[in-house]
């Protein structure tokens, strides 16, 4: 199970776009070959890996990630968001979620996070909700304070 931040994702977070930009989520079909490559830059790069196939089927559409926030503490920042709802989805087995900042299309939309924890999820026409755990989606920590 892999969760990770793409290198471009760190830039997006440092540029403070997480809270204000058009952040969306796409789902990848579960497949033995799901690939997380932190050097991927755009959605096209992620979909370009042999095992990464975007879901398709009844009720599937990319969704906007709601209620995003960055909660800063003394030496860390917690990245979080509201529930992402896929209504009435019947599109197979979801294996991972990819967060990205939508610009124009997949060729210029930078990827931020790859989330595989909480998956796979078999869709069957019911609603599917992607939630952030109690620790948030990601934590950015100041390495100077780590001992």
SS3 string, 125-139, reads CCCEEECCCCCCCEE
In a domain, residue 143? The reply is no
Q: What is the pLDDT of residue 39?
A: 96
Domain-embedded: residue 145:
no
Do 51 and 34 form a contact (C-beta atoms < 8 A)? yes
Tell me which residue range forms the domain holding 30: 3-138
Q: Is residue 147 part of a domain?
A: no
State the pLDDT at residue 145.
Answer: 43
Read off φ and ψ for residue 14, nearest 5 degrees: -65, -35
Query: Domain tally for the chain?
Result: 1
Q: What is the pLDDT of residue 11?
A: 81
The one-digit pLDDT tens for each residue of the chain (147 residues) are 688 889 988 888 777 778 889 999 999 999 778 999 999 999 999 999 988 999 999 999 999 999 998 777 666 677 889 999 999 999 999 999 999 999 999 999 999 999 998 899 999 999 999 988 777 776 665 544 444
Q: Which helix (H) or strand (E) holds 47?
A: helix 43-47
pLDDT score recorded for residue 73: 66
pLDDT at 142: 54
On whether residue 144 sits in a domain, the answer given is no
**Residue at 112 is within a domain:** yes
Say if 146 falls within a structural domain. Answer: no
Nearest-angstrom CA–CA distance, 147 and 142? 11
Which bin fits 137, alpha (ψ -120 to 50), beta or left (φ > 0)? alpha
What kind and span of H or E run contains 99? strand 93-101
**CA 136 to CA 144: how far, in whole Å?**
22
* Residue 29 CA, distance from chain mean position: 14
pLDDT at 76: 66
Q: Is residue 50 part of a domain?
A: yes
In a domain, 120, yes or no: yes
Q: What is the pLDDT of residue 2?
A: 81
């Amino acid at each position: 199970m892999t969760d990770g931040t793409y290198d471009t994702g760190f830039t997006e977070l440092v540029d403070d776009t997480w809270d204000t930009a058009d952040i969306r989520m796409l789902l990848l079909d579960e497949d033995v070959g799901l690939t997380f490559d932190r050097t991927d830059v755009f959605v096209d790069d992620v979909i370009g890996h042999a095992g990464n196939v975007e879901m398709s089927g009844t009720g599937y559409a990319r969704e906007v990630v709601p209620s995003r926030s960055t909660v800063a503490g003394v030496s860390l920042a917690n990245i979080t968001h509201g529930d992402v709802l896929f209504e009435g989805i019947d599109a197979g087995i979801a294996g991972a979620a990819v967060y990205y900042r939508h610009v124009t299309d997949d060729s210029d939309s930078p990827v931020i996070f790859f989330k595989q924890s909480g998956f796979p999820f078999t869709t069957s026409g019911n609603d599917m909700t992607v939630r952030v755990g109690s620790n948030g989606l990601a934590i950015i920590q100041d390495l100077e304070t780590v001992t």
